[in-house]
Chain A
Amino acid sequence: MRPTQRRRDIRTAYLLLSPVVILLLAVLAYPVAWEIWTSFTAYSPLQDGATTFVGLQNYRQQLADPQFWLAAAVTLIYAVVTIVAKLALGLGFALLLSRPFRGRALVFLAVFLPWAYPASVSVIGWYWTLNPPIPTAYAAFMGGVKYAVDGVLGGGAWAFISVSLFNIWRGSSFIGVLLLAGMNAIPLELFEYALLESKSPWQRFRMVTLPLLRPFLALGVFLSLTSAFADLANVWMLTAGRIVFPVIGTQAYWLAIHGGQLGAASAWSLSLVPLLLGALLVLFRLFDRPEGEAA
């Protein structure tokens, strides 16, 4: 291509990128910068006067706080358990739907619905169903479950588990549909070829299906990781902070809203970023390999 044309294309490209970049900068860049800055201060809306810069004190305090490590452990378990469950169920759905059978279109719709059903309202219904507030017909039963679980795992455990179940229910649907899209992308000849090569279905699955699904799996894991934390936030809003089970996100809310310690809260919530970024970098290797895109 001629160099002038190329230069004009690049200018057009930046022009076309600008709406997205401006939007992301306005909505994300300033808040993130604010959060990072605040995490180095003792900022609190409950105190008058100038904000004092405290350096790494918030982080040091946080790392010395056993509460933080408890919350970090619970967060990690929550993330791992929900993701494994979502992947297993989603993969199952996709495998089931990848072959034709009578009524497949309807079963596909059923699998699609938990994700399509607006989570902002289904989380309300789900939460109040598992934690019924008033004497409805099933309240006694659910109450029994709640006290049994809380008795073993500590107060708030059942409420927390019900959020995890919701996240799994909705996320498995999203991953199932995503993986089904991935399976549709695998050329049929490959399956036929594999059928000649190996008798064991497990072998065929491992050698053909899994490697070709890898980009879809990685993208699904990443998106469900981020949505797992968004669901926690929704329930927090819903119950006005009545979920006291220690997770990093909710503890940060607690510090910010009830304690007014925005500095510490910022430090808490930022402590997830390295973890998520690390996960993302690993995943980029899986679903965005540069050499594969040279074409």
Chain B
Amino acid sequence: MNPRSWRAKLVRSGLVALVVVYCLFPIYFMLVQSLKTAQEDVFGNPLIVLNPSFENFEELFERSGPVRGFVGSALRRSYPFLDWIENTLVVFAGTVALTLVASVAAAYALGRLQPPGFRWWRRIILATYVIPQTILFVPLYQVVNTFGLDDNLLALLLVYPTMAIPFCVWILSAYFQQLPREIEDAALIEGASRATAFFRIILPMSRPVLVAAGIFTLGTIASDLTIASLFLLNTHNQTIPAGLGTMEVALDELAAVAGINLMAIPVVIISACFARGYVRGLTAAMVEGS
């Protein structure tokens, strides 16, 4: 090997190491944090954990154990973490399903059936992202109240899909549009209906793009804290982010970090499983005229 390529390789490995540290350090830090005892949190080295323990995680589930550390029992609150997990599951699964069904329907209409002005439909749907969420919650609260969904998980099922639908409709319709017409025509000539052609031919083909849309939806709604905290007030109705947001961090910092990890781990595992499909789907959706 000549010295030049050897050097190039070294630079490359250095860059790779840098990227990995940059991406993973905050996650590593939170993981280490959550495994610490209160003692070690205050006096130990911030970067490593010497005596890992799961007591912060246990604390989230039952808070009746003996008082430890310097926090008196009077100051402790208990958190219905199991309820939060259940609520989060319902909201996330529901939103992803709802978003995908609605987006696929709209995307098929725009990309395949192409009603007049379909390009403008797509653009206007994507343009809804420019609406500033800032104080939108005031009128949104009126809407939610009108439907009688105050302090109800269904309020999130109403609002969350609108955060992901514009992007999902965009990529799905771009993908449907660039599929050649012959794909459906063969089936239509055989006498199949458009619906059959869709479910038997187009839908199976578009699995990667559906995965991309689903992962995007999950990532987007998992990033919301504002709407969840505003609309879910009763502690038993909250999702994990909303609940963690109400924790008194000065007292329960370690339990909060443990909660962060508990929420993150399943989402990360799901995303990691589909990460490759996500990239493939984005590629498939954006390639023009192939």
Q: Which residues of B contact A174 (CB under 8 A)?
A: 219
Chain B interface residue bracket vs A: 35 or more
B275 touches A109 (CB 8 A): yes
From B19, B113, B143, B283, contact of A111 by CB (8 A)? B19
A249 touches B132 (CB 8 A): yes
A271 to chain B, nearest CB (A): 9
- Pick the most buried of A170, A181, A184: most chain B CB atoms within 10 A of its CB: A181
A42 to chain B, nearest CB (A): 15
In the complex, per-residue mask of A106-126: 1 if CB is within 8 Å of any chain B CB, else 0: 011111111111111111111
In the complex, per-residue mask of B265-290: 1 if CB is within 8 Å of any chain A CB, else 0: 00110011001001111110011110
B260 touches A24 (CB 8 A): no
Known: A13-B115, A116-B268. 7 other contacts (CB 8 A): A9-B113, A10-B116, A14-B115, A108-B275, A116-B272, A122-B30, A293-B288
Q: Which residues of B contact A219 (CB under 8 A)?
A: 170, 286
From A34, A123, A173, A253, contact of B225 by CB (8 A)? A123
Residues in chain B within 8 A of chain A (CB atoms): 12, 15-16, 19-20, 22-24, 26-27, 29-30, 33, 40-46, 101-103, 105-106, 108-110, 113-116, 118-119, 121-123, 125-136, 138-140, 142-143, 158-159, 161-162, 165, 167, 169-170, 177-178, 194, 215, 219, 222-226, 228-230, 240-241, 244-245, 249-250, 253, 256-257, 259-260, 263-264, 267-268, 271-272, 275, 278-283, 286-289
Q: Does A221 contact B (CB under 8 A)?
A: no
A77 to B23, CA, bound (A): 24
From B136, B260, B278, contact of A124 by CB (8 A)? B260
From B26, B109, B134, B286, contact of A129 by CB (8 A)? B26
- Pick the most buried of A103, A128, A229, A292: most chain B CB atoms within 10 A of its CB: A128
B248 to chain A, nearest CB (A): 9
B114 touches A13 (CB 8 A): yes
Query: Which DSSP category, helix, strand, loop or mixed, fits chain B's interface?
Result: helix
From B16, B126, B286, contact of A96 by CB (8 A)? B16
Residues in chain A within 8 A of chain B (CB atoms): 9-10, 12-17, 19-21, 23-24, 26-28, 30-32, 34-35, 92-93, 96, 101, 103, 107-126, 128-129, 133-138, 169-170, 173-174, 177-178, 180-182, 184-185, 215-216, 219, 222-223, 226-227, 229-230, 233-234, 236-238, 248-249, 252-253, 256, 262, 265-266, 268-270, 272-273, 276-277, 280, 284, 288, 290, 292-293, 295
Nearest 7 interchain pairs by C-beta? A119-B223, A118-B222, A120-B241, A116-B271, A181-B282, A31-B139, A34-B139
Q: Which residues of A contact B133 (CB under 8 A)?
A: 229-230, 233
Q: Which residues of B contact A277 (CB under 8 A)?
A: 127, 130
A93 touches B134 (CB 8 A): no
B118 to chain A, nearest CB (A): 8
From B23, B129, B263, contact of A173 by CB (8 A)? B23
A262 touches B253 (CB 8 A): no
A258 to chain B, nearest CB (A): 12
A183 to chain B, nearest CB (A): 9
B42 touches A121 (CB 8 A): no
From B12, B132, B223, contact of A120 by CB (8 A)? B223
Q: Which residues of B contact A119 (CB under 8 A)?
A: 219, 222-223, 225
- Pick the most buried of A119, A236, A253: most chain B CB atoms within 10 A of its CB: A119
A273 touches B132 (CB 8 A): yes
A35 touches B135 (CB 8 A): yes
A26-B158, A120-B224, A284-B123 known; A110 vs B135 contact (CB < 8 Å): no
A20 to B126, CA, bound (A): 12
A17 touches B283 (CB 8 A): no
A27 touches B162 (CB 8 A): yes
- Which residue from chain A places its CB closest to the CB of B104 in the assembled complex? A16
From A12, A19, A256, contact of B113 by CB (8 A)? A12
A181 touches B129 (CB 8 A): no
A252 touches B143 (CB 8 A): no
B24 to chain A, nearest CB (A): 5
A269 to B134, CA, bound (A): 6
A17 touches B135 (CB 8 A): no
